[in-house]
Amino acid sequence: MNNQWKDKLAVVTGASSGIGEAVARKLASQGFRVVLVARRRERLERLAEEIRVEGGSARIITADLTSETDRARLCEQAGPADVLINNAGLGWYGYGDEMSWKTAREMLQVNIEAVVQLSLACLAKMRKRNSGHIINIGSISGSLPSQGVALYGATKSFLDNFSTALQRELTGTRVHVSVVRAGPVKTEFGEAALLHENGSHLPTEKMGITAEKVAERIWTLIRRPRRFIYVPDYLRLVPWLELSFGWIIDRMGPLLLKKQRSGA
């Protein structure tokens, strides 16, 4: 075990499933004390127990990240994080005009407001200590405006911009802010999106890499901080594709959405 990380504190939001769960397991196995955050208590308790059985240290904090009060309580109860993984997020697939304001607001609260509130609370303390790392789980959708995920993609573009600007402010310090531009990952993300009014199956639902693969890449990011990473790596071609061939997406994208929507 790398002693450099032993007993460091990692706060992982959205740890009750998918990428967050895999990252929490990975960091605990490397010696971090992990704080697991989400709404589903039983899931968090089960994961914390499994981590302890493996010899790791885990604590749970249940919080609904749509709530400003819950977020403030989380910042207080978690303690000074060495690593904050802003992973909790939700998606929705369909025509923008069919999205209810309730779903849109929830998405803005979890995907943006929570990230900002938790990051600001941690950053000030990290700056004082001159050490720490905030990792925001973005998406390739943030670099590729796409039909069906207008608001979701926009929330991830926000994370790109916010993280990069903060990282630039932190140049010369030992505090880092990174964004993970992930492609499709096999998790419960698609199922969770269906729980919201008018949601359709995501076209990428059956594709994708495992959450464990993403966790491995996040672990490399912690050891060697960078402004952003693409997961998988080849997705770094996407911004170039959008610039050069965006006109194809303009034509094909709506057809794909129409087909997917009619099968909803």
Active site members:
152
What span, in angstroms and rounded, lies between the C-alpha atoms of 75 and 178? 20
Which residues lie closer than 8 Å to 174 by C-beta, 6 or more apart? 130, 131, 132
Closest approach of Cβ 125 to ligand NAP, in Å? 22
Site of interaction with ligand NAP (CB under 6 A): 14, 16-20, 38-40, 43, 63-66, 87-91, 110, 137, 139, 182, 184-185, 187-189, 192, 208
Closest approach of Cβ 120 to ligand NAP, in Å? 18
Closest approach of Cβ 149 to ligand NAP, in Å? 10
35: closest CA among 24, 51, 46, 50? 24
| Residue 127 vs 151, nearer CB to ligand NAP | 151
SS (H, E, C) 176-217: EEEEEEECCEECCHHHHHHCCCCCCCCCCCCCCEEHHHHHHH
| Residue 17 vs 260, nearer CB to ligand NAP | 17
| Residue 7 vs 188, nearer CB to ligand NAP | 188
* Position 235, amino acid: L
Closest approach of Cβ 39 to ligand NAP, in Å? 3
| Residue 7 vs 197, nearer CB to ligand NAP | 197
155: closest CA among 136, 177, 168? 136
* Position 7, amino acid: D
